Amino acid sequence: MSVVQTEQLTKKFGHFTAVDHISFEVGKGEIFGFLGANGAGKTTAMRMLCGLSKPTSGKGIVSGYDIHKDTEKIKRNIGYMSQKFSLYEDLTVRENIRLYAGIYGIKEKEIAPGTDLLLEELGFLKEKNTLVKSLPLGWKQKLSFSVAIFHNPGIVFLDEPTGGVDPSTRRQFWELIYKAADQGITVFVTTHYMDEAEYCNRVSIMVDGRIEALDSPANLRKNYECDSMDGVFHQLARKAKRQAD
């Protein structure tokens, strides 16, 4: 059963076609990497899938809901984590969780035990009442992700989630992603760190608004005869006419 399904999905801004007739599917529990250079159209595409932007044409279904008609239902059934972590710095850990739980409509009595469980798993139960701004970068990231899946969505969208953190923290983050995927949550992640593409089950690479490649990292490396995703990307990006300058 596909959690995401698009058919000729397109978004135009005036004469400019940001997303050009893309079609693809993502299965349940899959870790799907959505790659592309800045300006290639991946952020625009993701916004359509999250119900934040209406497509110009084409079809799309996310978690069973139509991205044209059911944007509100989509928003309630997905998780979202953006580059800037989306946590309120001047609220405590507990308050942040409570806020987002409330927004997603989790029942009042489930919030407190759920919170404790989550914090214990992350290993920062002691920091329950610490203001988020005092947490180290890596912790904020992990917390942000956990908050995004607190309400057990079918799919979580991660918009450039890692950046500037040290290798071990980044790995811990990806281990959380593995765990979520293992529990059946589909993870849709955009990144421009090509080495992170290797963590994904399948990867799509967008160039000039179109999907130029879609396959597992291993297959892509074989087909493009490169020993890293970086090389694959490099080859595809060279063809790009749309210079992000």
Partner 1 sequence: MKQFFIFVKKEFYHIFRDTWTMIILLLLPILLLVLFGYALSTEVRNTEVAVLDHSKDAATERIISLLDMSDYFDVIYFLDSPEEIHQIFSDESPGLVIVFSEDFYDNIVHTGEAAIQLLLDGTDPNTAVNISNYATTIIMGYQQELLEIFSAPFQIKITPRFLYNPEMRSSYNFVPGVMGMILMLVCAMMTSVSIAREKETGTMEILLVSPMKPLMIIFSKVVPYFFLSCINLVTILLLAVFLLDVPIVGSLVTLIVISLIYIFVSLALGLLISSVASTQIVALLISGMALMMPVMYLSGMMFPIENMPVFLQFVSNLIPATWYISAAKKIMIKGLGFSSIIRETIVLSIMAVVLISISFKKFKIRLE
Partner 2 sequence: MNKIIQVQNLYRTYGKVQALSNISFDVEEGEIFGIIGPDGAGKTTLFRILTTLLLADSGSAFVDNCDVVKKYRDIRKRVGYMPGKFSLYQDLSVEENLQFFATVFNTTIEENYHLVRDIYVQLEPFKKRKAGALSGGMKQKLALCCALIHKPRVLFLDEPTTGVDPVSRKEFWEMLGKLKTEGISILVSTPYMDEAGRCDRIALIQNGAFLKIETPDKIKKDFALPLCAVHGKSMFALLKDLREFDGIYSCFPFGDTHHVAFKDESVSIEELRSYLEKKGHDDLILNTIGAGIEDCFMNLADGEVSL
State which of residues 88, 95, 172, 215 lies at the interface with partner 2 (CB under 8 A): 172
Is residue 215 a contact residue for partner 2 (CB under 8 A)? no
Q: Which of 235, 237, 196 is nearest to 217 (CA)?
A: 196
Smallest gap from residue 82 Cβ to partner 1 (A): 18
Q: Which of 172, 117, 171 is nearest to 149 (CA)?
A: 117
Specify the residue, 26 or 197, whose C-beta has the smaller distance to partner 2.
Answer: 197
Is residue 165 a contact residue for partner 2 (CB under 8 A)? yes
Binding site for partner 1 (CB under 8 A): 88, 90-91, 95, 98-99, 102-103, 105, 108, 131
Residues near 15 by Cβ (< 8 Å), separated by ≥ 6?
Answer: none
Is residue 80 a contact residue for partner 2 (CB under 8 A)? no
State which of residues 2, 131, 169, 226 lies at the interface with partner 2 (CB under 8 A): 169
Query: In the window 178-207, what residues touch partner 2 (CB under 8 A)?
Result: 178-179, 181-182, 192, 194-199
The stretch near partner 2 (CB under 8 A) out of 5-13, 42-50, 102-110, 170-178 is: 170-178
Smallest gap from residue 93 Cβ to partner 1 (A): 13
Smallest gap from residue 234 Cβ to partner 2 (A): 6
Smallest gap from residue 171 Cβ to partner 2 (A): 5
3-state secondary structure the chain: CEEEEEEEEEEEECCEEEEEEEEEEEECCCEEEEEECCCCCHHHHHHHHCCCCCCCEEEEEECCEECCCCHHHHHHHEEEECCCCCCCCCCEHHHHHHHHHHHCCCCHHHHHHHHHHHHHHHCCHHHCCCEHHHCCHHHHHHHHHHHHCCCCCCEEEEECCCCCCCHHHHHHHHHHHHHHHHCCCEEEEEECCHHHHCCCCEEEEEECCEEEEEECHHHHHHHCCCCCHHHHHHHHHHCCCCCCC
Is residue 13 a contact residue for partner 2 (CB under 8 A)? no
State which of residues 4, 19, 26, 37 lies at the interface with partner 2 (CB under 8 A): 37
Specify the residue, 8 or 219, whose C-beta has the smaller distance to partner 2.
Answer: 219
Specify the residue, 98 or 202, whose C-beta has the smaller distance to partner 1.
Answer: 98
Residues in touch with partner 2 (CB under 8 A) = 37-39, 123, 136-137, 163-169, 171-172, 174-175, 178-179, 181-182, 192, 194-199, 217-218, 230, 233-234, 237-238, 243-245
